Amino acid sequence: MGQWMDGFLAKLEENRQENLAGGGQERIELQHSLGKLTARERIELLADPGTFEELGSRVREFRMFLEGEAKLSPSDGVIMGFARINGRPVMIYALDFTVMSGSIGDQGVWKIAELVYMARQEQMPIIGMFDSAGSRISFKGGYVGLNGMGRLIRNYCNYSGIIPQIALLLGPCTGPMAQVPVLSDFLIINEKTGFLWLGGEIESDDAGSAEFHMEKSGQCDLIAASDEEAIDLAKQLLQFMPQNCWEKPTIVESTDAPERKEEALLDVMPDDPKFTYDIHEIIELIVDNGEFFELKEDFAPNMVVGFARFDGIPVGIAASNPDELSGIMEPDSSDKYDRFIMFLDNFNIPLVTISDTPAFPPGDKWERMGVIRHGAKNLHGYSHLTNPKVTLVLRRSYGGSNIVMGCSKMGPDFIYGWPTVEFAPTGPESIVQAVFHKELAKAKEEGNYDDVYNFFLSILKEHFSVMTMGKMFTTYYTVHEVIDPRETRSKIVKALRASLNKREEVPEKKRYIKPA
């Protein structure tokens, strides 16, 4: 090998060593002292050993003539490439906080934009890890990277629903870059180090924190106690989804008997319908090995969403939770439900809805919050689903809930109901008060109000019972089959198997226009 090539190889090796050093040992030690891994350590932990192939490693901050000397900027603060996670090809990038506090520069933002485009071309998921002080500022050149930011955001938006997008917020992320994690399908935040803020005044102690974006803004899907846990959650999450929208998720071999009966299901629901129960108890009794991967756990907890498996088949579960606000469908729960079922449909993941809800809450407070338009999103969204859909109704199915939660004629493939189900236009108690008010007023004067009230209520409950309505297969709200609660798991497994190869189409159009 001649000296001519020696020179180039020496420059290449120098470039590699500079990249590995990042912002220098002092900055690396500072990163560790903050409880954070470096960008390269994060990628090494996320990717299968030895599979990460870096792209764009030569890129540096670029300054035009007379703009001054460029700062030391290995990889321009963005480490990216392709790798495998549990054997699956993925695109990965991580912002390097050791390099100018992870500030996004003109070249770095274009690197990420190009990687998103490449992920779409290669039809594989993309995972981004954020740890950035925001947009980089040059006193001579002003803000940099905003042109590339437009391309990055457009790519994220255009390829949404084509490739899965997962974001891990492991440090600060502010300014225009704060929009990118939220544009992703799922956002995981390190509760100790994550901070997400678009801009403006901070008025609360928890502003920008993981808890803030989980409980208040609803933008966080999962909270982790460390970088390591966040990365592990991302790996788990990825297992439930396919590589892209043209594929189906992988069915794994299950260690849980598909025909398993659960006697404990008979004891979850209280005898008195005035009392509540936690829907998690039912979910954990029917899914494979009791394993439920919940999302947005502390945001609108009256609606529970997450992933699980039935006989190895990955599904998304959306369930009303009577233990929280009686399981009502208010604006936040409607938004939570809508986004989740859209993701499932895009990536061919079956949907299992579990319904026990008095539907949408009435009154001035809720109307001012837009309960109608938020609920309309669910009606519009569910009407366009083409993925396999199985509905399980447990107890109350009042008002609009029997439509929103996949009952009636909204297109579910199979609807099962426990014998405890009541279908009604509103709660039977309200109907008794409205229809029999004269009889109740007379009974109150005569001192036998409770007896008269309970008499009319029992008649209505009998009328609205699925055991009565089930005699009319299509005329009223009903189910395809009333089942023994102990057989719930086996019924869902069989329904999912039957619908895996279904073909369902909606009318051809350029796009649908969802309610505001």
DSSP 431-475: HHHHHSHHHHHHHHHHT-HHHHHHHHHHHHHHHHBHHHHTTSTTT
Where does 263-421+465-499 sit in CATH, by number? 3.90.226.10
Positive or negative: CA dihedral 480, 485, 491, 495? positive
Question: Which residues, including other chains, have CB under 8 Å from residue 65's CB and lie 6 or more apart?
Answer: none
CA–CA separation, 477 and 408 (whole Å): 5
Q: Map 156-201 to HEC letters.
A: HHHCECCECEEEEECCEEEHHHHHHHHHCCEEEEECCCCEEECCCC
The one-character DSSP state at 335 is: H
- The CA distance from 34 to 492, in Å, is 47
Return the exposure string of 318-329: e unless at least 16 CB atoms fall within 10 Å of the residue's CB, then b. Answer: bbbbbbbbbbbb
A 10 A CB-CB count for 196 gives 26
Tally Cβ neighbours within 10 Å of residue 134. 19
- Say how far apart CA 354 and CA 336 lie, in whole Å: 15
Q: What is the pLDDT of residues 388-436, one digit of tens each?
A: 999 999 998 887 777 889 887 888 999 999 999 888 777 777 787 777 8
Higher pLDDT, 358 or 83: 83
Average pLDDT of the residues in 46-51: 98
CATH 3.90.226.10 residue ranges for the chain: 15-238, 263-421+465-499
**Looking at residue 454, what is its pLDDT?**
78
Which pLDDT score is estimated for 139?
47
Measured in residues, the chain has a length of 516
Indicate the fold that domain 15-238 takes in CATH: 2-enoyl-CoA Hydratase; Chain A, domain 1 (3.90.226)
Between helices 227-238 and 39-46, what is the axis angle to 10°?
40
- The predicted-structure confidence for 267-278, as pLDDT tens digits, reads as follows 999 988 778 999
Give the residue, 505 or 117, on which the prediction is more confident: 117
What 3-state DSSP class applies to 48? coil
Average pLDDT, the chain: 90
The whole-angstrom separation of Cα 392 and Cα 356 is 9
Residue 42's pLDDT is: 98
In the chain, % of residues over pLDDT 90: 60
Tell me which of 144 and 49 has the higher pLDDT. 49
Chain centroid offset of residue 265 CA: 27
Give the three-class secondary structure for 90: strand
Query: For residue 69, is pLDDT > 80?
Result: no
Is the pLDDT confidence value at 141 over 80?
A: no
The pLDDT of residue 448 is 82
Q: Taking the model in full, what pTM does it have?
A: 0.92
Amino acid 2: pLDDT: 63
- Say if residue 258's pLDDT is above 60: yes
The whole-number pLDDT of residue 70 equals 63
Least confident of 283-292, 322-331, 486-495: 322-331
pLDDT of residue 142: 45
Q: How confident is the model at residue 63 (pLDDT cuts 50, 70, 90)?
A: low
The one-letter amino acid code at 48 reads: D
Other beta carbons less than 10 A from residue 67's beta carbon: 12
**Between residues 492 and 411, the one the model is more confident about:** 492
How many Cα atoms occupy the beta-carbon half-sphere of 304 within 13 Å? 28
Share of the chain above pLDDT 70, in %: 95
Q: Which pLDDT band, with edges at 50, 70 and 90, does 1 fall under? A: low
**Whole-number pLDDT of residue 60:** 82
Spacing of C-alpha 129 from chain mean position: 17
- Is the pLDDT at 38 greater than 80, yes or no? yes
pLDDT at 181 over 60: yes
Name which of 54-63, 92-101, 488-497 the model is least confident about.
54-63
Name residue 396's beta-bridge partners: 422
Q: Exposed e or buried b for every residue in 175-187, given b needs 16+ CB within 10 A?
A: bbbbebbbebbbb
pLDDT over threshold 80, residue 476: no
Contact status, residue 149 vs residue 184, Cβ threshold 8 Å: no
